[in-house]
Structure 1
Amino acid sequence: MKAERLIKILLLLQHGELLSTREIAEELEVSERTIHRDMEALSAAGIPVYAERGQAGGWRLVDNWKQRLSWLKEKEMLALFLPHAEKIINDLNMEISSKQIRDKLLLSLPEKSKENAVNLWERVYVDMGTWKNSNSQMLPAMEVMKEAVMSSKKVTLLYKKVNGESTESIVKPLGLVAKSSTWYVVALKTDDEFRSYKLNRIIECELLEESFTRPRDFNLAEHWERSKQQFVQNLPEFRVQVNVSPSAHQRMKFTGRFVQTVHEGKVTDKGWVEQELTFQTEEEAVNFIVGFGSQVKILSPLNLIEKVTERAEEIIDLYN
């Protein structure tokens, strides 16, 4: 965080204007004391920051000095210009645009790299939203959770589980994670057990005055990757052997969210393919196979044939 803040201070000062400690502190949302420490760090690093004393004083770079991002390799510099996900910025209510970020960074880029950076920006776009923008509305819990994460304060929340039950808890929010278009807050419960909560399932939440001590060894990215792997490993698995028609075989390539193909076997003279599929539950397997009608034939388990047949009969009865 400090390194990022020092770069931001340099970018602000490179415009050549005299900036007061208060102005810089407000821009970076830190204390004036922190800015004084940062200026000492910049000076110690050999960057010619100059303080003008007095009521109208402030900070400036000597002789319009400009520090290029020359300590970064070409690919590292270009990585800074990968377009930001506007949805993430908007969800966090940061009130900035990715274009503003790009324009400020361009000031510190060597001339030979500017064209490549602009080309990357114009040729790559990151869209984190859904096709129908169903999650485009502001999440009611976002502002509370963002403040709690940044200030290390406890939160009381009313949370709706998948089964429809609602539970009330007091948690210690540690970080926010955007998983595709869905936001999660990683928090510690009162027994210091880690838990991830979907923000769109938080019915009510309230920021408490009570602070908590953030675990010193906690790393949000590492924790999320570990918990994600554990979640996948602990998912239930229901395996099915089937024969699949050529048309169904092509369609299944686009249904990875609901089913995974573990193994593909021999192909018959009519183009049918023997496949082993995995589902999380038997019910998911039934619904999936029924949806393909006569294009998927179950080989095993045999008791699944009976359940699919029953579901098909229920559909026929519905329309009769």
Structure 2
Amino acid sequence: MQINRLFEIVYILLHKKTTTAKELAERFEVSVRTIYRDIEILSSAGIPVYTSQGKGGGISLLDEYVLNKSVLSEEEQNEILFALQSLTVTQNPETNRVLSKLSSLFHKSKTNWIEVDLSPWGSDEKKKRKFTILKNAILNQQMIAFTYFNSSGEKSIRKIAPIKLKFKGQAWYLQGFCLTKNEYRTFKISRMSHIEITQELFTESLSEGLSVEKNEQSSQKWMNVHVKIAPQGAYRVYDEFDENEITRHPDGSFTVVTSLPESKWLFHYILSFGDDMEVLAPQEVREAIKDKLHKMIRKYKNGQGIT
């Protein structure tokens, strides 16, 4: 990538003092003309790089030039290093090289204060490999094929151009262009299986249409739900609800008024709290929960289990 090459050229010039366009072209496996275009870009950005002719000539920086003082503020340096440190999750060798070199240029020794892991806590190696496959497909712009179960449990085989990994609502999603549906879609990664990278490549232009994506939630209806949560359920309250939705009571219990999707998921979510949560409103949700609990009780009363 050009931005990485530009940083490396500055790094080389700071340490080697003088080099030639031919040497740089061979190093980066590009043409001499490309190197001269890079030099023009650096010059227009205010970096004092110049060329000299004759014996001992070449490409150089002014002797008094120091990158970390002349171009970027302390805050800007930290922001760049933070962004690169976050990107190391992609395991792209170029990211690590640029991070190392910029850390040296900026005289920063502490760059390991943040770590990003795309996999959920407690994930086994199989789940972690899934993220590695998706990451490689996105970076290499390769199509993928996989089996997918939608929110209704319907199974389908999909083929997509993967564009972006996205974390939202405590779950990871993959956004891309679905060739099966011929439109942009968002897929919940936990519902994807048998993921395979194909040999087919897709172009950068596909990424431009992502803003008009259509996902499974596009027509989702929402409802206001009023619940009471017992003190022993406190560990989930501030993880899953906004502070302005929560009221804490002297006995340690909570009431929460929030907006939740009107779907089958809602009932499973409420029941996941066990007896730590009680629905106060709306009444139809309260009645539906009571009906589901009665059905569960009947199963355990009438069922034989395994002997």
The normalised TM-score by structure 2 is: 0.66
Pairing partner for 1:206 from 198, 202, 224: 198
Q: Distance in 1 between matches of 2:236 and 2:43?
A: 61
Letter in 2 for 1:186: G
Letter matched to residue 36 of structure 1:
Y
The question of 1:237 aligning with 2:222 is answered yes
Q: 1:59 to 1:75 in 2, by over 3 A?
A: same
Cα distance between partner residues in 1 of 2:273 and 2:137: 45
The count of corresponding residues between Structure 1 and Structure 2 is 287
- Aligned-pair identity in percent equals 17
> What's 2:293 paired with?
308
Question: 1:68 deviation in Å?
Answer: 1.7
Question: What is the alpha-carbon distance in structure 2 between the residues aligned to residue 254 and residue 288 of structure 1?
Answer: 16
The Cα offsets for residues 6-28 of structure 1, whole Å up to 9 and x where unpaired, read as 33321122221655546534655
Corresponding position: 1:9 with 2:9: yes
1:280 is aligned to 261
Mapping of 1:114-125 within 5 angstroms?
Answer: 114=107, 117-118=108-109, 121=111, 124-125=113-114
CA contact (8 A) 1:177 1:186 kept: no
Contact 2:48 2:61 in 1 (8 A): no
Q: Which amino acid aligns with 1:48?
A: V
Match of 1:165 in 2: 155
**Aligned-pair CA distance for 1:283:** 3.9
- The answer for the alignment partner of 1:151 in structure 2 is none
* Alpha-carbon separation, structure 1, partners of 2:76 and 2:42: 22
- Partners of 1:14 and 1:65 within 8 A in 2: no
Q: CA RMSD in A?
A: 4.6
Cα distance in 2 for residues equivalent to 1:273 and 1:29: 63
**What is the 5 A alignment of 1:34-49?**
34-43=34-43, 47-49=48-50
* Separation (CA, whole Å) in 1 of partners of 2:66 and 2:172: 38
Instruction: Report the equivalent of 2:78.
Output: 78
Q: Deviations over 1:122-173 (max 9, x none)?
A: 6x3223243235343363454444233xxxxxx554232224633354x666
1:147 lines up with 2:140 in the alignment = yes
Structure 2 partner of 1:104: 101
For 1:125-144, list aligned pairs within 5 A. Answer: 125-129=114-118, 130-134=120-124, 135-137=127-129, 139-140=132-133, 142-144=135-137
Q: Please, which runs of 5 or more residues in structure 1 have no aligned partner?
A: 149-154
Per the alignment, in what secondary structure is the counterpart of residue 15 of structure 1?
A: helix
Judge conservation of contact 2:21–2:58 (CA < 8 Å) in 1: yes
Contact 2:246 2:255 in 1 (8 A): yes
TM-score (norm 1): 0.64
Q: Secondary structure at the match of 1:127?
A: coil
- In structure 2, relative to structure 1, the CA distance for the partners of 1:127 and 1:262 (3 Å cut) is same
How far did 1:73 drift? 2.5
Contact 2:25/2:35 (8 A) holds in 1: yes
2:232 to 227, 247, 272: 247
Tell me how far 1:88 sits from its aligned partner: 2.0
- Check conservation: 1:183, 1:198, Cα contact below 8 A: yes
Paired residue for 2:93?
Answer: 95
Q: Deviations over 1:40-65 (max 9, x none)?
A: 444565723336789xx995415656
C-alpha distance in structure 1 between counterparts of 2:244 and 2:295, whole Å? 26
**Is 1:186–2:176 an aligned residue pair?**
yes
Assess, with a 3 A threshold, how the Cα gap between structure 1 residues 51 and 241 changes in structure 2: closer, same or farther.
Answer: same
Measured in 2, the distance between the counterparts of 1:46 and 1:293 equals 62
1:254-309, Cα deviation, whole Å (9 max, x unpaired): 562xx779855795x86655444554355444434444444433432242222223
Contact 1:157 1:202 in 2 (8 A): no
